Amino acid sequence: MQTEIIAVGTEILLGQIVNTNTTFVARRLADLGIDVHYQTVVGDNQQRLIQAIEIASKRNDLVILMGGLGPTKDDLTKQTVAHFLGKNLVEDAAAMHKIISYYAASEKKMTVNNRLQAQYISGSVPLKNETGFAVGEYYPNDNGCDFLLLPGPPSELKPMFVNIAQPLLSKRYHNEHLLFSRVLRFFGIGESLLATKIEDLIDKQTNPTIAPYAKTSEVTLRLTASAVDENEAKRILDDTEKEICNRVGEYMYGYGDNNTLVEVVVKKLLKENLSITAAESLTAGAFQATLGNVPGVSHIFPGGFVTYANSAKSSLLDIPPAIIQKNGVVSEETAKWMARRSKEKMKTDIGISFTGVAGPDSLEGNEAGTVWIGLAFKDRPVRAKLYHFARQRSLVRERSVLTGLDWIRREVAK
């Protein structure tokens, strides 16, 4: 069961709009266990559209076309598919009635083109448009590839796909297995090292499949199991997760597509009732702003300090200027003082500090990317760690924030 999604629209080709329709449909097809092998975008051009349909119909069992069902001159999709199939267009009486009623009640004039929106290819099942005028359609084809035509506006496409098309597809292709995914999230290990550590698992992957994916500062593994039901899928996924965690479990911080390190850490702090503050130099408030992303953080986060200049480190945190002068602002001592003083001043359980060189210029002989993170955690000895983050200014700061969060995650678990 192979599928291709074709989005029709010159505005996508020109980069004027992002092709979110394809993402929406692809994700739901994956849930249905229908494989998408290609996605294509073609403009409002009949010749190229027909070429795209010819190529797609040869290599797929189902071709989904989105867009080009509207009333304007450049809406050509259904006419082109009808031409390809050697079929006529017929009119959907209910859809036609909806269009006529709308124009009767409005001051706008109905044009000949508006009739086109109510037409579908003879032999298709017309799909009702709950939020617009253009009917969609599903053409089951026993002599070749099936076609599904959906309107382009997301507000029309989404309800039509979810409420009408999805059940139709599910029924017609029910012999497929169901797919279940689980996302494991890692911080502090690069994609290539992670992939190397589980190379044999990736090599022998069949069920579940294992797909590593690197985001700016973290890596996720998506495990996808094919199974008859959720219980069987859970067993398959649990086994593979266990094997993965035996090797790289210390870097794994959580699950899910939309989870983040800060949500996991704040949840832990709330659970353990540990309050936190920060003194930030190079991150300039980014650590605290990240905490602030999580609703409910006010229970454990009263506020803190942005000490960008040395004068602020002394005036806000009462760090003796001599300490900074002697050790340097980018130093273990300064980081420890910042962490300890912030914790004392805010009377919290945890104080974390960030001092370093965001770049692009170096500072005190330290290259951009050199960062000390200090941590005062309850009554444990105050410590500081040195990091060398590569890459540009914004990444140095983002990386610092996440590394601080990860240190806290590990410290809470101790």
- Give yes or no for residue 10 binding a second copy (CB under 8 A): yes
State the chain's maximal CA–CA distance in angstroms: 87
Task: Give the nearer residue to a second copy in terms of CB position, either 84 or 387.
Answer: 387
CB 123 to a second copy: min, Å: 27
Structure tokens at 34: 């229908």
The residues facing 3 across adjacent strands are: 36, 62
Choosing from 33, 136, 304, 374, the residue that interacts with a second copy (CB under 8 A) is 304
**Local structure of 395: helix, strand or coil:** helix
Residue the block writes with tokens 């959580």: 254
Report in angstroms how near the CB of residue 165 gets to a second copy at its nearest.
15
Question: Among residues 83, 128, 172, 222, which is the contact residue for a second copy, using CB under 8 A?
Answer: 222
Please tell me the distance from the alpha carbon of residue 52 to that of residue 43, in angstroms, as a whole number.
Answer: 10
Shortest Å distance, C-beta 207 to a second copy: 16
When asked if residue 80 is in the footprint of a second copy (CB under 8 A), the reply is: no
Of 53, 62, 286, 402, the residue at the interface with a second copy (CB under 8 A) is 286
Residue 86 touches a second copy, criterion: CB under 8 A: no
Q: Which of 163, 298, 325, 362 binds a second copy (CB under 8 A)?
A: 298
* 16 in contact with a second copy (CB under 8 A): yes
Structure tokens at 371: 């960062």
The DSSP result for 232-260, as a single string, is HHHHHHHHHHHHHHHHHGGGEEEESSS--
Instruction: Name which position in 59, 247, 271, 380 contacts a second copy (CB under 8 A).
Output: 59
For a second copy, the closer CB: 185 or 313: 313
Check residue 414 for interaction with a second copy (CB under 8 A): no
**Which residue in 70, 136, 254, 351 binds a second copy (CB under 8 A)?**
70
Footprint of a second copy on residues 147-176 (CB under 8 A)? 153, 155
Which stretch in 48-56, 138-146, 227-235, 244-252 sits in contact with a second copy by CB under 8 A?
48-56
Residues 223-282 that bind a second copy (CB under 8 A): 257, 278, 280, 282
Out of 53, 81, 264, 306, the only residue in the binding site for a second copy (CB under 8 A) is 306
Contact 372, 366 (CB under 8 A): no
> Is 19 near a second copy (CB under 8 A)?
yes
CB-wise, 140 or 200, nearer to a second copy?
200
Helix (H, G, I), strand (E, B) or coil at 223: strand
Q: Is 291 in the site for a second copy (CB under 8 A)?
A: yes
The set of residues, in sequence order, having a beta carbon less than 8 Å from that of 275 and lying 6+ positions away, is 269, 300, 301, 302, 346, 348, 349, 350
Asked if 48 touches a second copy (CB under 8 A), the answer is yes
- Closest listed residue to residue 306, CA positions, set 187, 397, 382: 397
Q: What is the CA radius of gyration of the chain?
A: 29
Determine which residue in the list 1, 32, 55, 270 makes contact with a second copy, applying CB under 8 A. 55
Candidates 311, 320, 326, 362: give the one binding a second copy (CB under 8 A). 311
Q: Is 204 in the site for a second copy (CB under 8 A)?
A: no
Beta-carbon contacts of residue 393 (< 8 Å; ≥ 6 apart): 358, 359, 360, 368
Give the residue with the Cβ less far from a second copy, 347 or 378: 347
**Distances in whole angstroms, Cα of residue 365 to Cα of each of 331, 370, 396:** 12, 10, 17
The first and second tokens of residue 353, run together, are 């500090």
Specify the amino acid at residue 188.
G
Q: Does 397 bind a second copy (CB under 8 A)?
A: yes
To the nearest 10°, report the CA torsion of 369, 370, 375, 381: 160
Least distance between a second copy and beta carbon 2 (Å):
10
What's the CA angle centered on 96, arms 92 and 99, to 5 degrees?
A: 145
User: Pick from 59, 214, 161: which is nearest to 40 by CA?
Assistant: 59
Residue 38 touching a second copy (CB under 8 A): yes
- We find the least distance from the C-beta atom of residue 67 to a second copy, in angstroms, to be 11
Q: Is 362 in the site for a second copy (CB under 8 A)?
A: no
Report the relative pairing of strands 276-280 and 350-356 from DSSP bridges: parallel
> Whole-number minimum distance, CB 142 to a second copy, in Å?
26
Question: Contact between 346 and a second copy (CB under 8 A)?
Answer: yes
Judged by CB under 8 A, the residue of 1, 24, 89, 141 near a second copy is: 24
Q: Is 77 or 139 the residue whose CB approaches a second copy more closely?
A: 77
> Rule CB under 8 A: is residue 109 a binding residue for a second copy?
yes
H-only helix segments in 86-219: 93-105, 112-116, 154-160, 166-172, 191-197, 199-203
Query: Contact between 308 and a second copy (CB under 8 A)?
Result: yes
